[in-house]
């Protein structure tokens, strides 16, 4: 069946450091891929998405590229800020209606 | 415009009691999802509504869980005879189209 695996946290970085959060997936079809973010005390928000192979989703300085050959959708940001502290979830939707989410990666950015 | 709202925001109940959780989706969104987020876990799909079609109930963990959506809008998730393992944050999301979800703030359920 379909599934998403993302790197376990927590991740702690200093401000302006480079961020990578790994995400790999298993899918039977051609899924759309997503990163959601959950800031402290808030609901999940869509951060970025990519709907086909080699697409790059980007938003707020974050990027992720849909790599079909490695079944990956790693999240990257060149210079993190304290305000990026949150929990990040990788997700996919495949041929059906069900979204599959990873377990989430907690990021803390320290000044 | 208004986002997805859920009520109550917190619910504490005793084991064996029934609870009802409410979700008000964004007006006009045809699809509605319920998820459960347990501590240290990802989001677990529970149920999906799309327009007037029969709901996809494949994620409901037991027959103690049920949900309905009235008039294609408000949805209620009911948990009967609650157990301690039901303690979690229950999230609702509405969607205007495939590939897009807008989440509510969630209801934190604690079963004592």
State residue A97's pLDDT score.
78
Q: Chain B within 8 Å of A87 (Cβ-Cβ)?
A: no
Partners of B44 in the beta sheet?
B36
Q: Mean pLDDT throughout A9-23?
A: 96
> Predicted confidence band at A98 (pLDDT cuts at 50, 70, 90)?
confident
Query: Which of A39, A41, A43 to probe the B interface (max B CBs under 10 A)?
Result: A43
Put simply, whether A44 touches B (Cβ < 8 Å) is yes
Mean pLDDT taken over chain A: 94
Q: What angle do CA A107, A101, B39 make, to 5 degrees?
A: 60
The answer to whether B45 faces chain A, any CB pair under 8 Å, is yes
Q: Does A35 touch chain B (CB under 8 A)?
A: no
Residue B98 has pLDDT above 80, yes or no: no
**Average predicted confidence (pLDDT) for chain B:** 92
| Chain A environment of B41 (Cβ under 8 Å) | 103
CA B12, CA A36: separation in Å to the nearest integer?
Answer: 28
Q: Which of B42, B44, B91 has the most A C-beta neighbours within 10 Å, making it the best mutation to test the interface with A?
A: B42
Residue A110 has pLDDT above 90, yes or no: yes
> Strand locations in chain A, DSSP E?
3-6, 11-14, 19-21, 23-26, 32-38, 44-50, 56-59, 62-65, 75-77, 86-93, 99-101, 105-110
> Which pLDDT value is given to residue B1?
55
pLDDT of residue A16: 96
Q: What is the DSSP string of B10-25?
A: EEEE-TT--EEEEEEP
Mean pLDDT of B43-58: 90
Q: List pLDDT tens digits, range A39-78.
A: 988 889 999 999 999 999 999 999 999 999 999 999 999 9
pLDDT at residue B70, as a whole number: 85
Alpha carbon B11 to chain centroid, angstroms: 13
Report the alpha-carbon distance of residue B103 to residue B92 in Å, rounded.
Answer: 6
Q: Which residue has the tokens 């790693």?
A: A74
Residue entry with tokens 């989001």? B43
Residues of B in contact with A2 (CB under 8 A): none
pLDDT-derived band of residue B100, with 50, 70 and 90 as boundaries?
confident
Q: What string of DSSP letters covers B94-109? A: EESSTT--EE---EEE
B103: which chain A residues are within 8 Å (Cβ-Cβ)?
36, 43-45
């Amino acid at each position: 069946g379909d599934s998403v695996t993302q790197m376990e946290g927590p991740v702690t970085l200093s401000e302006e450091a480079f961020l990578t959060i790994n995400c790999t997936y298993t899918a039977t079809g051609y899924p759309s891929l997503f990163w959601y973010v959950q800031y402290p005390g808030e609901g999940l928000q869509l951060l970025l998405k990519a709907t086909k192979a080699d697409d790059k989703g980007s938003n707020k300085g974050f990027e992720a590229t849909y790599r079909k050959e490695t079944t990956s959708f790693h999240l990257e940001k060149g210079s993190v800020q304290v305000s990026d502290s949150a929990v990040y979830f990788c997700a996919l939707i495949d041929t059906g209606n069900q979204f599959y989410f990873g377990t989430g990666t907690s990021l803390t950015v320290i000044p | 415009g208004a986002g997805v709202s859920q009520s109550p925001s917190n619910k504490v109940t005793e084991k064996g009691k029934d609870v009802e959780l409410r979700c008000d989706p964004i007006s006009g969104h045809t699809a509605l999802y319920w998820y459960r987020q347990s501590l240290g876990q990802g989001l677990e799909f529970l149920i999906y509504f799309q327009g007037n079609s029969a709901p996809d109930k494949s994620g409901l963990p037991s027959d103690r869980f049920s949900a309905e959506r009235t008039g294609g809008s408000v949805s209620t998730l009911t948990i009967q005879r609650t157990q301690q393992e039901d303690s979690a944050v229950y999230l609702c999301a509405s969607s205007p189209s495939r590939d897009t979800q807008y989440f509510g703030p969630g209801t934190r359920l604690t079963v004592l």
